Amino acid sequence: LEKNFHMRKGQLIERGSSCPLCRSSSSFVVGTKDRHNRPLTNLLCVGCGLYRVDPLPEEDVLREYYRKQYRLDYKGVLRPRPHHVIRAGRTARDRIHWLLPYLPETRDRSAVDSHSQPGPSARIPRSGRWLDVGAGSGEFAFLVRRKGLDVIALEPNHGYGEYVRRSLKVTVFCGFLEDLPHAEGPFDGISCFHMLEHHPSPIDALMRMSSHLHQGGLLALEVPNAAFALTHPSSRFHPAHLVHFTLSTLEMAARAAGFVPLELRTSADGGILWAVLVKTQDRTPVPVPLPVLPGAGNARLRAESRRSPVRYYGNPRIWLRTFRRVKALLAERWEAQAFLSPESYLAGLDLPE
């Protein structure tokens, strides 16, 4: 692993860095460039099938990097453009639809048996407190509060944090999850959309979230799906995405951190993984397979070798997707003409009962 430029795609590395999920040090090279054509090595773990950047940055180095980046960010109040609020608001509404059966206030409290054992079947919260990790411009936090929950939006960017606090009047904690005092919780639910893939140790990140949850509390996750076929081969690897999950590796990480999946699936188009997890007491150790016996990684490697620009552009679903995106973009611009304020727009969005 001394010289990354010696690596080629499909190459098997037997004694490299170890996988943050199963600790196996056998991996295949699946990428040597990032989406901007700069050198970046991505490995596929032979043992479990988790993708990872190599070398993975140390957590404290990475934390300093992000802190510095966020300090450079605008210190006042950001003003997202109307079409941004419209798009993010619709995405947030779709997430409410998805999570509604799990949200604390929508559960049947009459069915609670106070003597029942804690576990996936007894996941009735004591109250309705929710934490949205990486809240961004706050649309989801705003809508989840409309469903009657007491919400804290956690956002490290000060510009966005001020905007969410002032314009949406949502309670904001400005900082990273490790800065959040445990006295703020515990929470009945945490949402974390598109953040876990930025962390070098998914199990640690999940356990940190778990530490802010009640026993039986929920964690709603969204991450990109590494197995998604409709990604252009040269735009596969975002430099900030340190690990890439499939359904099975996301489940392994969740169980290793003491969560049990209530729901684990891909989005309708297959591009995103959705997980609703419940905090339990048991942690399931990730099995470490024999390094010389290719397992889950081998099947993924075959799928990787089938990716090509010709296959990509030859797929009619790509063109259908492009058409739908343009249509959505035009609808957003059209709707933006009648836009009054982020708060009034989000307050007026139709939410499921």
Report the nearest approach of Zn ion to the CB of residue 19 (Å): 3
Report the nearest approach of Zn ion to the CB of residue 90 (Å): 36
Relative to beta strand 213-224, strand 187-193 is parallel
Residues 6+ apart with CB under 8 A from 62: 200
Q: How far apart are CA 114 and CA 133, in angstroms?
A: 30
Beta carbon nearer to Zn ion, 204 or 269: 204
Binding to Zn ion, residues 48-107 (CB under 5 A)? 48, 50
Beta carbon nearer to Zn ion, 24 or 157: 24
Report the nearest approach of Zn ion to the CB of residue 247 (Å): 15
Beta carbon nearer to Zn ion, 21 or 192: 21
Report the nearest approach of Zn ion to the CB of residue 164 (Å): 37
Binding to Zn ion, residues 143-202 (CB under 5 A)? none
Report the nearest approach of Zn ion to the CB of residue 207 (Å): 18
Choices 18-26, 33-41, 59-67, 100-108 (CB under 5 A): range interacting with Zn ion? 18-26
Beta carbon nearer to Zn ion, 252 or 277: 252
Amino acid at 249: T
- The CA–CA distances, whole Å, from 177 to 17, 131, 222, 256, 280 equal 27, 10, 17, 20, 20
Q: How far apart are CA 243 and CA 258, in angstroms?
A: 20
Among the listed residues 16, 18, 19, 261, the single contact to Zn ion using CB under 5 A: 19
Beta carbon nearer to Zn ion, 21 or 226: 21
Residue 2 class from Cβ within 10 Å (0-12 exposed, 13-18 middle, 19+ buried)?
A: exposed
**Site pattern 20..49 for Zn ion (x: CB under 5 A):** -xx-x--------------------x-xx-
Strand blocks (E) in 17-68: 27-33, 39-45, 51-54
Beta carbon nearer to Zn ion, 132 or 197: 197
The full length of the chain comes to 353
State phi, psi for 34 to the nearest 5 degrees: -90, -175
Amino acid at 93: R
Binding-site size, Zn ion (CB under 5 A): 8
Location of structure tokens 């941004």: 84
Report the nearest approach of Zn ion to the CB of residue 291 (Å): 10
Q: How far apart are CA 158 and CA 161, in angstroms?
A: 5
In the complex, the residues that contact Zn ion under the rule CB under 5 A are 19, 21-22, 24, 45, 47-48, 50
